[in-house]
């Protein structure tokens, strides 16, 4: 389960980030907001790297990244060893990425869905656990 969650966004995800941060805090999560702090244009890789680095170094249990589509954030975050960033556009995707992929960073599109759908996706991601924790396998 997640306790400490770092959240970051670019200008395209700012409005959604503010609402998601408030939701997480109301639910009792420890949230570190790394920005951005407005809808003025910024470069998303800077924020993606801060959150991904925190997850990779275990400063955070999980991360949430939001840009206009979530695509760029997921591409940057997945470059960090130990980060399993998943772009989710539905409740089912969020549930399955936790259960089957042990996702530790959720990427969302602040311009592709409304806040109610984003919160539903977030809730599915937060409340599901990795099902294959006892299984071990080796990649060739």
Instruction: Enumerate the active-site residues.
Output: 67, 100
Phi, psi of 16 (to 5 degrees): -65, -40
Sign, Cα dihedral of 90, 55, 77, 116:
positive
Radius of gyration of the chain (CA): 14
H or E stretch including 63? Answer: strand 62-67
Residue 55 DSSP symbol = H
Buried b / exposed e along 85-104 (16+ C-beta atoms within 10 A): bbbbbeeebbbbbbeeeebb
Peptide bond into 36 cis (omega under 30): yes
Burial class (CB in 10 A: 0-12, 13-18, 19+), 120: middle
């Amino acid at each position: 389960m997640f306790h400490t969650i770092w959240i970051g966004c670019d200008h395209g995800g700012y409005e959604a980030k503010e609402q998601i941060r408030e939701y997480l805090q109301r639910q009792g999560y420890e949230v570190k907001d790394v920005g951005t702090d407005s809808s003025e244009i910024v470069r998303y890789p800077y924020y993606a790297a801060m959150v991904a680095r925190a997850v990779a170094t275990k400063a955070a249990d999980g991360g949430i990244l939001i840009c206009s589509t979530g695509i760029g954030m997921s591409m940057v975050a997945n470059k960090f060893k130990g980060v399993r960033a998943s772009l989710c556009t539905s409740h089912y995707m969020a549930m399955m990425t936790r259960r089957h992929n042990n996702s530790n960073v959720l990427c969302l599109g602040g311009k592709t869905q409304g806040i109610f759908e984003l919160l539903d996706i977030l809730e599915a991601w937060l409340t599901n656990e990795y099902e294959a924790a006892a299984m071990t396998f080796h990649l060739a």
